[in-house]
């Protein structure tokens, strides 16, 4: 394996690491239940996508 000839300067090291920060994840709101959803994803809580039911969740008995 190749070995670096010379130690990188603090400046080079820090410039490299300037791209390492993590970006905050984007969170959208479900139009049906208001829960947090990833954009372009079906709501994991209620199974709705853009106001229509796409995935049938377990049937809850309503009185």
Q: Which residues contact 35 (CB under 8 A, 6 or more apart)?
A: 29, 43, 44, 45, 46
CB nearer Zn ion, residue 16 or residue 38: 38
CB nearer Zn ion, residue 6 or residue 58: 58
Residues 27-46 as x/- pattern, contact with Zn ion by CB under 5 A: ---x-xx-x-------x-xx
In degrees, rounded to 5, the angle at the alpha carbon of residue 23 between the alpha carbons of residues 21 and 27 is: 165
Candidate segments 5-13, 20-28, 48-56, binder of Zn ion by CB under 5 A: 48-56
Contact residues: Zn ion, CB under 5 A? 30, 32-33, 35, 43, 45-46, 48
């Amino acid at each position: 394996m190749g070995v670096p000839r010379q130690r990188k300067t603090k400046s080079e090291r820090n410039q490299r690491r300037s791209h390492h920060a993590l970006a905050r994840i984007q969170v959208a709101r479900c139009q049906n239940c208001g829960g947090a959803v990833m954009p372009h994803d079906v709501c994991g809580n209620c199974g709705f996508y853009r106001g229509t039911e796409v995935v049938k969740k377990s049937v809850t008995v309503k009185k």
